[in-house]
Amino acid sequence: MVFEFKHNGNLESWLHPEGNDPIGLKTLKLMQRINIAIDVASALEYLHHHGQDPIIHCDLKPSNILLDDDMTALVSDFGLARFINTSSTSSTSSFGIKGTIGYIAPECGMTNKVSTHGDVYSYGILLMELFTGKRPTDGAFKEGLTLRTFVSDGFSEGVMNTMDERLLANGVQAGDHSQTINHAKTFECVSLVLKIGLQCTNDLPSERMEITRVRNELNRIKNIFFER
């Protein structure tokens, strides 16, 4: 398969730039992160609900999210994707665990069952990584601490200790608007987004937020904080 070259690379390279990149060269503003989150949720919604049969991506992670010239996010790499029968919401794989460690839903690791719920879990992890700047496999996560518990605990300790500190560097610009969002509004916005990430990563698949609702909620947050 041949893909169109994307000059802005993938989301992984923006969230975790290599050490030889100039400081600040790759920094995603708050508005850009919100838009990326909405783009990916919209892509998942299409895969899950608007095709002839639902498609499960099975490997949603930053390195599989490409960014085009205007920073629109595109979901790529369908090497592990599965069609599921319309009479079912899940499919069993005979090829072992599908996905990448850190992004795989608990039930997928234990039963090899893949489902739209599993994609939502992976999306929730990606969403938390997008706004904390931390991989789910970060070396700091040990002895029971995970990206999810790190985010959850952050609500009692203050979300400013959880979010990606680069969001506060040099002010936070509202995308194409010249208006600067103050830090209190930034904390409030990130808090709302991280709560969605937590709801997407509940241990029980039935308790996870459905992807259409995720997209709607993110659009609501965008309208509150960025639309005139």
Q: Which helix (H) or strand (E) holds 218?
A: helix 211-226
End-to-end CA distance of the chain: 42
Rounded CA separation 5/95 (Å): 31
Q: Which of helix, strand or coil describes residue 82? A: strand
The catalytic residue among 21, 39, 53, 59 is: 59
Reported as type and span, the H/E element at residue 172 is strand 172-173
Is 53 considered catalytic here? Answer: no
In degrees, rounded to 5, the angle at the alpha carbon of residue 200 between the alpha carbons of residues 95 and 110 is 30
| 3-state helix vs strand vs coil in the chain, percent to 5 | 45, 10, 45
Q: Looking at the annotation, which residues are catalytic?
A: 59
